[in-house]
């Protein structure tokens, strides 16, 4: 029996042609693995059949939507994960999950290799292969598009010659990756970073400029995780799906950014992540209410490191694992409710409350009933500024002075 390779199959041109290419180049039988991560508007059964029609010896579909939400999106939410402060890691979060299923399917079927359809210019190749290396170090990773120089033109010719059932009629100029956390759109006219995005690019969000009534929504969190929307209990996946609709209908979640890829290229990316940005805004504000100052400040630094690790393909790494333990511990009191107004492309927090709140009205108020003893502030500032005062005296004695 021929050796087997398990290919992460999306149903698109590259991975469809990749089935034949892998077989031709390696002699291995190709098993196609399609993972449902909540990509909107794609029928997984059609994709499965297409893999078989393109020559896969076996085609497997795994519904990983709940696993994706529970084990990948929720850690990202607890980390308020935004790469370069803006990108909610849409594609970066799905890669380790897909890689995990690639590795476990390969091991279960006795395959010696896995494969993906990434080019050699992006982050996703790194994420797939670094994750597979960390999970199953003996598996071989193959990348037909990259390693066999499979260009788009060659792929189209190959598909035609072999009568592959790929519909290339509505040729989209964009490279799109999507899952329930959002969509990533690149290439086409967007490659000129001066070109403004057009309405056509978006499917998860409506045009924010269209006048419409605001939507009010209340999200309940339990230890950092959304557990109810407007009082109705939800699973993490349901929370994301519902907020994609509520926030997406208000044009929320669009991101247009020049991004620093791990491979050194700067690229122009357009994203939409209605639920992602709404949940992060709400969660971060609940943290402001429930996490003490020094922990909150320190955590913001950890969040940025966490986001870079995940962006850079190090989901299954020691540092990321240890940061997760820290982040989980910070969520102990992040329970309560956040009310948001969703309107005109913006999710604005308008209220927050928690039984674990650290907000003390009597301390904060400027009205009567104030329990904060202001006379203590004077001595505090005296001691707080003592190091500055002493060093300033030395600076002046040495002839230096601060620009003032
Ligand atoms: N640049 C983004 C990232 O690295 C998105 C990649 C999207 N992939 C794609 N094939 N369009 O996470």
Domain boundaries, the chain: 4-172, 180-291+333-353
Return phi, psi of residue 101, to 5°: -70, -35
For the question of residue 95 being annotated catalytic, the response is yes
Question: Strand pairing partners for 256?
Answer: 270
* Contact of 182 with 90, CB cutoff 8 Å: yes
Return phi, psi of residue 179, to 5°: -155, -175
Structure-block tokens of residue 84: 């370069």
pLDDT at 216: 98
Rounded distance from Cα 354 to ligand 1 centre (Å):
37
Cα 158 from Cα 168, distance rounded (Å):
12
For the question of residue 71 being annotated catalytic, the response is no
pLDDT at 296: 98
Q: Which DSSP helix (H) or strand (E) runs through 342?
A: strand 336-343
pLDDT at 150: 85
User: For the domain 180-291+333-353, what is the CATH code?
Assistant: 3.90.1260.10
Considering just the CA atoms, what is the radius of gyration of the chain in Å? 25
Largest separation between any pair of C-alpha atoms in the chain: 86
DSSP-assigned letters across all residues of 149-177: T--HHHHHHHHHHTT-----SS--SSEEE
pLDDT at 2: 86
pLDDT at 206: 98
CATH 3.40.50.620 assigned to domain 4-172? The reply is yes
For the question of residue 391 being annotated catalytic, the response is no
Whole-prediction pTM: 0.96
pLDDT at 169: 45
Q: Is 233 helix (H, G, I), strand (E, B) or coil?
A: strand
Eight-state DSSP code of residue 71? I
Residue with tokens 């037909």: 144
Catalytic residue among 48, 91, 94, 124: 124
Low-confidence ranges of the chain (pLDDT < 70): 167-171, 401-404
* Contact of 118 with 145, CB cutoff 8 Å: yes
* Contact of 279 with 256, CB cutoff 8 Å: no
Question: Strand pairing partners for 338?
Answer: 219, 352
Structure-block tokens of residue 176: 């799109």
Q: How many CB atoms lie within 10 A of CB 295?
A: 13
For ligand 1, atom 2, which residue shows the shortest CA distance? 91
Whether the CB of 92 sits within 6 Å of ligand 1: yes
Whether the CB of 259 sits within 6 Å of ligand 1: yes
Cα 255 from Cα 117, distance rounded (Å):
25
- Residue to mutate, 11, 72, 122, ligand 1, most ligand atoms under 8 Å from C-beta: 122
């Amino acid at each position: 029996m021929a050796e087997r390779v398990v290919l992460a199959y999306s149903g698109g041109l590259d991975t469809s042609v990749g089935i034949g290419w892998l077989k031709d180049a390696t002699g291995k039988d190709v098993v196609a693995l399609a993972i449902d991560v909540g990509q909107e508007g794609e029928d997984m059964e059609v994709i499965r059949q297409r893999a078989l029609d393109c020559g896969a010896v076996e085609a497997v579909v795994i519904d990983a939507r709940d696993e994706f939400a529970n084990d990948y999106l929720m850690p990202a939410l607890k980390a308020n994960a935004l790469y370069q402060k803006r990108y909610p890691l849409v594609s970066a979060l799905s890669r380790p999950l897909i890689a995990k299923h690639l590795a476990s399917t390969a091991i279960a079927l006795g395959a010696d290799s896995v494969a993906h359809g990434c080019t050699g210019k992006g982050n996703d190749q790194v994420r797939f292969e670094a994750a597979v290396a960390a999970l199953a170090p003996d598996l071989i990773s193959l990348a037909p598009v990259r390693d066999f120089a499979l260009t788009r033109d060659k792929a189209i010719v190959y598909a035609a010659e072999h009568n592959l059932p790929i519909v290339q009629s509505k040729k989209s100029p964009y490279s799109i990756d999507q899952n329930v956390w959002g969509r990533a759109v690149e290439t086409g006219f967007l490659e000129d970073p001066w070109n403004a995005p057009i309405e056509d690019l978006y499917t998860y969000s409506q045009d924010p400029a269209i006048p419409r009534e605001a939507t009010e929504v209340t999200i309940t969190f339990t230890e950092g995780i959304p557990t109810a929307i407007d009082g109705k209990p939800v699973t993490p996946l349901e929370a994301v799906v519902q907020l994609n609709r509520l926030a997406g209908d208000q044009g929320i979640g669009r991101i247009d950014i020049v991004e620093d890829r791990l491979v050194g290229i700067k690229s122009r990316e357009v994203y939409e992540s209605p639920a992602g940005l709404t949940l992060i805004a709400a969660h971060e504000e609940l943290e402001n209410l429930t996490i003490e100052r020094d922990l909150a400040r320190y955590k913001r630094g950890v969040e940025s490191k966490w986001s870079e690790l995940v962006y850079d393909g190090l989901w299954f790494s020691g540092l990321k694992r240890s940061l997760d333990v820290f982040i989980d511990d910070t969520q102990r009191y992040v329970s309560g409710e956040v009310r948001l107004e969703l309107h005109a492309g913006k999710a604005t927090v308008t209220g927050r409350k928690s039984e674990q709140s650290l907000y003390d009205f009597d301390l904060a108020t400027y009205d009567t009933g104030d329990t904060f003893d202001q006379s203590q502030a004077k001595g505090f500032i005296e001691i707080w500024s003592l190091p500055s005062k002493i060093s300033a005296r030395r600076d002046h004695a040495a002839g230096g002075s601060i620009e003032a």
